[in-house]
Structure 1
Amino acid sequence: MAIESPDLALQILHIEDSSADQGLARIILRRAGMACHIQPVETLAALQQALQERSFDLILADYHLPGFTALDAWALVEPLPARPPFVLLSGAIGEAAAVDIMRLGMTDFLRKEDIARLPMVVERAMEVHEARRAKERAMAELAQSERRLAELTEHLQSSIEEERASIAREIHDDIGGSLTSVKFDLAWITRNTPADQPLHAHAVAALEMLQHALGASQRIMMNLRPPVLDQGLVAAVQWLAESFERRTGVAVHMRTSSQQIAASPEIQLVAYRTAQEALTNIGKYAHASRVEIDLSDHEGFLTLEVTDNGAGMTAAQREKPRSFGLRGLQERARTVDGWLDVSSQPGQGTSIIVSVPLQAH
């Protein structure tokens, strides 16, 4: 590793009480073509002062020094936020003891009798150090990216729920009100038109279609933002189960730990949307004949489990590129510090479990 520019010279702190060994290390590194600035220290106080005054690219350390050892030096170096590589250069300990010391986190060990290999050891230590720093930077960037993604997901989920609530209000106030007014008019026409007149038959047919439209608008409104959530999570999930059973004919059995479960609105919404998505998937794909829903708040956790006896899923089906339903549920659970687990085997049904800690909310 030839370093020609003085600006790029390695800054080395050499913990060594022998001036001969200090000079030998300097000569060997320079003969190898390494531009370096070596600052020797002989006491623990001098080491502490040097670490406070500046940063170093690498630390060389003898093991036995007057009044302290390399372990004492390492205790000062290890907590540094940008800890440099620490190479033990000593003839006072054996290989086995050196290996035990290295497990503490030091970078490398070289016996003084092999000091000719010092340039290679320094080069390797710097390469390992740079690789570690690159990994730490990559991990930090990944963690930051994941935090931003989680924040974006939470924001999107909140925006979606607000938009759903807004649309539900418009359906109830505008469309629902208008349809109800038309229903009254059609009802008046049917009451005041002879039954044998064509107008009467048309009015009756229109009234039936209007009743269907009113039912559809009510169903859409409830799916967007169910008012039943205001009565509590248990009532809301029970309403989902009953609606699903009426619509599909699939038997749903629900168990709950109590009739009222105390949870924040955010947690209740996560649990409700999980049950809603699970039942929607069962209705579309599972071909099930029975569904079981368990809702409990035992041991400080809200747990919702939806299980069916349908076709099940393969791992490939769960991971297909544009399958966002389960992934969306996982992200929802994370927004309230919870987690989602999916268990499924082809032909053996599917179980979806969401668990959320209640204490933090």
Structure 2
Amino acid sequence: MHSRDSVSSGRSRPVPDRYAGVGQPRGRALVILGPIVALIAAAAALGVAAIGQDGYRAETLIAATIVAFVALFLAVILLYRQVRRRQATGRALQNIEARVTDIVESAMDPVIAVDQDQRVVLFNAAAEKAFLWPRAAVLGEPLDKLMPERFREGHRAHIARFGEAGMTSRRMGSQMVLMALRADGVEFPIEASISQHTEDGNKLFTVILRDITERVRAESLLARNEARLRGILDSAMDAIITIDETQHIVLFNAAAEAMFGCPREEAIGAPLAWFIPERFRAAHASHVRGFGETGTASRRMGTLRIVIGLRRSGEEFPIDASISQVTDRGSKFFTVILRDVTARVRAEEALSRSREELRELGATAHQAREQENSRIARELHDELAQSLTALQMDVAWCKERLPDEQKALAKKLERMETLLDTTVTATRRMAADLRPLMLDDLGLLPAVEWLVDNFTERTGVPCELAVSTSDLKLHNAHATAVFRIIQESLANIAKHARASRAEVAIEDNGSEVTISVRDDGLGFSPHDPRKPNSFGLAGLRERAYLLGGEAAIISAPGRGTNIEVRLPVAPMPFSQ
């Protein structure tokens, strides 16, 4: 590239030896005198020839002299042009070398040239900065000075082989990271390219270096992070699978191997469809493509239904899945995190069956309790109440026939009569609480009217009843549930609400019955289990659920309470 006398010393390259005389006074004289002497000799020869032929002829001699001087003039002009051309070429070469020197000196990367003995002949400013050596301390020194001792012998052999190979240039260190040595003894990684050329029979090697300390540090950090990420992925309890845009697997962690029963080596590169039942494959592929088009970073899969996976053995199993996407170097990748929920689904199914059994048992218990309450109410009303009534009549008969002088006995009979009245009233109230006979005898609406009137009479709180229809026909279980819901709601108002007014509304739209009980009392937080009426409210929900309905309780402290229950008109099978 450059000789030791040019860029390495900071001076312009000298003009080659073949142009050494051009442009110097002595050289110019020799160049011009040669043609002049030749032309004069030619003119003299012409004159002699003329004299020899015709004798002395002045005209001929003058003509020969003129020819000689014209030829001389032309020769001088041609020679002058040639000299100027060669001078221009020399200056151009000097300018080119100056520009090359500027380029090398301003290069961001270190540029070092060595001769065939591997001694430094060029060391640019970037090399001084990288190696912390001044140029004067390196020029003429072996290249070994700039590399760790353990690499010197191998590096010398490498350059020698490169010189023998005849290659123009190639990259160094393609198999490993090259190391260089600074003046302070600190080693640092580099990447390098080497080229060779021959100048004046001498082979020169030029090496362009780049300090890659930051890149190596970043690559090392990236490698550690990737190793840490691999460790996290392989220790994750959930299966993690990454696929490319063609939905082929590029990542398959240890949990995925265990979940699907497939080794990672077989899964990598395979289509994701391997692990999806055939009937779901087309829909799943379409789902992933659609997710990619949305641009959403992540979302849960299977929110509307359970996602089904396929083990290598052919067994299907339920999974929970979430999917995310990322674009890397223009390519889109999708990562799916999966969790085998077989045990959870089985537990949920078992719990659901257990709840259904409990609800059926509860419905049966409710029905049995209502039947027992009805039986006891009938016995209280038909037997005990009638017996007490007969006893009242007997006491009244005795009292009428008692002599006037039996005043003490008359007072005793009066007390007995009062006690019997109280007992009959209590018996009838207990019978009504257990099962209002009018619910069986007259129907739901008269029973609810009696319930509302009785509530107002006992509490003094005005209560309005609003019914959308006078012809409300419900199955016995539904009628009983409606009555009990209203009864328990009014009981809660009487015990806890401190209300100034209440309202009961029943609406039938043909397919369902809506019962609403409102008050303007203290209100409460429906989600606070410490409230004393929380179990009663849970009982309302349970009664509604047993008949295929639902109950909503809307309340807040200081804003009263609204209990709204919706029941289907058709009875549930297990409540019949």
Smaller-chain TM-score bracket: 0.5 to 0.7
Match of 2:418 among 196, 208, 213: 208
User: Match of 1:295, SS?
Assistant: strand
Task: Return the offset for 1:158.
Answer: 1.4
**8 Å CA contact 1:256, 1:295 repeated in 2:** yes
Change (3 A) 1:190 1:323: same
Matches within 5 A, 1:306-317: 306-315=517-526, 317=528
- Please list the CA deviations of residues 5-55 of structure 1 after superposition, one character each: whole Å capped at 9, or x if unmatched: xxxxxxxxxxxxxxxxxxxxxxx99xx9xx99xxxxxxxxxxxxxxxxxxx
Q: How far apart are the structure 2 equivalents of 1:58 and 1:260?
A: 67
Change (3 A) 1:358 1:192: same
Q: Is 1:76 matched up with 2:278?
A: yes
Task: Return the offset for 1:262.
Answer: 1.3
User: Match of 1:254, SS?
Assistant: strand
**8 Å CA contact 1:338, 1:354 repeated in 2:** yes
Task: Return the offset for 1:205.
Answer: 2.1
| Letter of the 2:425 counterpart | G
- Please list the CA deviations of residues 161-209 of structure 1 after superposition, one character each: whole Å capped at 9, or x if unmatched: 1221121122123321221121111111221225662222221221112
User: Match of 1:331, SS?
Assistant: helix
Q: How far apart are the structure 2 equivalents of 1:349 and 1:141?
A: 39
**8 Å CA contact 1:233, 1:260 repeated in 2:** no
| Letter of the 1:141 counterpart | A
**8 Å CA contact 2:477, 2:571 repeated in 1:** no
Match of 1:160 among 352, 366, 369: 369
Task: Return the offset for 1:63.
Answer: 9.3
Match of 1:221 among 417, 431, 441: 431
Q: How far apart are the structure 2 equivalents of 1:303 and 1:150?
A: 22
Structure 1 equivalent of residue 536 of structure 2: 325
Q: Is 1:285 matched up with 2:496?
A: yes
Higher relative contact order (CA 8 A, sep 6+): 1
Q: How far apart are the structure 2 equivalents of 1:139 and 1:360?
A: 26
Structure 1 equivalent of residue 347 of structure 2: 138
What is the TM-score of this pair, normalised by structure 2? 0.43
| Letter of the 2:465 counterpart | M
**8 Å CA contact 1:312, 1:344 repeated in 2:** yes
**8 Å CA contact 1:341, 1:353 repeated in 2:** yes
Matches within 5 A, 1:124-203: 128=338, 131-194=340-403, 197-203=407-413
Structure 2 equivalent of residue 120 of structure 1: none
Change (3 A) 1:58 1:189: farther
Task: Return the offset for 1:145.
Answer: 2.1
Can you give the 5+ residue segments of structure 1 that lack an aligned partner in the other structure?
1-27, 37-55, 80-85, 110-123
- Please list the CA deviations of residues 95-123 of structure 1 after superposition, one character each: whole Å capped at 9, or x if unmatched: 959x99x97968699xxxxxxxxxxxxxx
Change (3 A) 1:206 1:106: closer
Structure 1 equivalent of residue 460 of structure 2: 249
- Please list the CA deviations of residues 248-272 of structure 1 after superposition, one character each: whole Å capped at 9, or x if unmatched: 2221111111222011111111110
Task: Return the offset for 1:293.
Answer: 0.7
Change (3 A) 1:132 1:282: same
Q: How far apart are the structure 2 equivalents of 1:310 and 1:179?
A: 40
| Letter of the 2:424 counterpart | L
| Letter of the 2:420 counterpart | L
Which stretch has the larger CA shift, 319-328 or 222-231?
319-328
Higher Cα Rg, which structure = 2
User: Match of 1:342, SS?
Assistant: strand
User: Match of 1:324, SS?
Assistant: helix
**8 Å CA contact 1:195, 1:201 repeated in 2:** no
Can you give the 5+ residue segments of structure 2 that lack an aligned partner in the other structure?
1-251, 310-320, 324-334
| Letter of the 1:259 counterpart | S
Change (3 A) 1:278 1:178: same
Structure 2 equivalent of residue 235 of structure 1: 446
Task: Return the offset for 1:128.
Answer: 4.1
Change (3 A) 1:237 1:204: same
Matches within 5 A, 1:294-309: 294-309=505-520
Structure 1 equivalent of residue 473 of structure 2: 262
Change (3 A) 1:280 1:73: closer
Q: How far apart are the structure 2 equivalents of 1:291 and 1:195?
A: 53
Question: Superposition RMSD on alpha carbons, in Å?
Answer: 4.1
Q: How far apart are the structure 2 equivalents of 1:74 and 1:317?
A: 45
Q: How far apart are the structure 2 equivalents of 1:106 and 1:220?
A: 58
Identity %: 31
Task: Return the offset for 1:225.
Answer: 1.1
| Letter of the 2:346 counterpart | R
Change (3 A) 1:128 1:233: same
What is the TM-score of this pair, normalised by structure 1? 0.66
**8 Å CA contact 1:232, 1:260 repeated in 2:** no
Q: Is 1:344 matched up with 2:546?
A: no
Aligned residues: 281
